Amino acid sequence: MLGDVDLVWFSARGQPVERCQVVLFVPDLYAAEAVRILPSDIVRERYAELERWRARSISNPLTDDRRDAVLCSLFGITVPADQDTPSAPLSRLYDLSESDLSDPARYWLRADPVHLRADQGRVLMIGADALHLDAEAGAELVADINSHVAADGLHLYGPVAKRWYLNAGETPRIRTTPWRTIVGKDIAPYLPSGPDAARWRALMNEIQMVLYASEVNRRRLEQGELPVNSVWFWGGGRLPDRGRHEWDAVWSDDPLALGLAAHHGVRGLPMPSDAESWRASVTGARHLIMVDGGAAGVPFGEADARLAYAEEVERRWLTPLATQLRDGELTSVDLYPGDGHCYHVTGALLRRWWRRRPP
């Protein structure tokens, strides 16, 4: 947890600044599976700033490295390893209007629109981000699905074209997998599992038939666009109790991060373009910054795309934050780069020039 900070400090430029402690959560920054196939010297070159941070920091392994579980833990919410992270009921606090949030004790499940493609005996997924579904078409598809599932006491909400929410009274005994972790992979091992899995797999198949007959998909095919031919269930649960936190502000465009902020009464602010613009507008001492979206949904095998994303994060965030640490404008940064560790970094630690490689 973050500790006490000195509120006023004179930076290396001689300006009085409010010193800050920062948690920088970049879940797609270090995709070990993506870079494992590359020679180590190329990784060190392309990840130069990140490798410097990892080498000179105090490293702590995470007990649970699931992306959404880590984010919940930063708000003091512990998710058991054998349960889904309740991403749906939390992100809905950001996505859904107040009129749609009645009965918060109900079970919510993400049912995001996706495209499934058969490929040499496998079924691969293309995520919602790549489908470019507009609000009108999304609303029409949601209405088609609701006409089928209403008899089962289910209701689908589509407040955002690429994020759909299924509202159910009962808690299904299933385990699910977030779609972003399986893009480009065979979906078979990641379909819902557990005692009630058969029912939810059958429901997925029924929805696929509804989507196959949809006028929206007919128009998309005529226009050369991929059809929305399935939904993907994941992130189910009920709204958890509030945890303990120390945040003055949360900076992100991620719906789960902003939903968690809303759940805890913390200011949720839009993501700045880089660390310098963030520092120029910041107030308060303790900040959670979640940088996401650049590599979300990129298949792990596409190492070049992920390395390019890492270079952009280094240029926009790690390098200027390192300068702010050395200048005394920040007391510390806790970096979560998505490799199963948290790296605690201070200006003094960054000066350990003899630490050239991560342990």
pLDDT at residue 4 in the model? 44
Q: Tell me the per-residue pLDDT of 308-355, one tens digit each, with 9 for 90 and over.
A: 788 888 899 999 999 999 999 999 999 999 889 999 999 999 888 666
Among 212, 237, 262, the domain boundary falls at: 237
Of 237, 258, 282, which residue constitutes the final position of a domain?
Answer: 237
Domain presence at residue 1: no
Specify if 4 maps to a domain.
no
pLDDT band at 292, cuts 50/70/90?
confident
Task: Encode pLDDT of 143-153 as tens digits.
Answer: 999 999 999 99
Average pLDDT, the chain: 86
- Same structural domain, 122 and 207: yes
Contact between 345 and 53 under an 8 Å Cβ cutoff? The reply is yes
Which domain-ending residue is among 237, 252, 274?
A: 237
Residue 186: predicted pLDDT = 92
Domain that holds residue 131: 87-237
Q: Nearest Cα to 337, choosing from 77, 127, 47, 91? A: 47
> Total domain count for the chain?
2
Under the banding of pLDDT at 50, 70 and 90, the label for residue 141 is very high
pTM over 0.75: yes
> Half-sphere exposure of residue 134, counting CA atoms within 13 Å on the CB side?
6
Report if residue 2 sits inside a domain.
no
Residues 278 and 314 grouped into a single domain? yes
Which residues have a Cβ under 8 Å from the Cβ of 67 and sit 6 or more positions away? 27, 178, 180, 181, 338
Co-location of 23 and 149 in the same domain: no
Q: Give dist(CA 328, CA 12) in Å, integer.
A: 7
Please report the pLDDT score of residue 300 as a whole number: 46
State whether 96 and 171 are in the same domain: yes
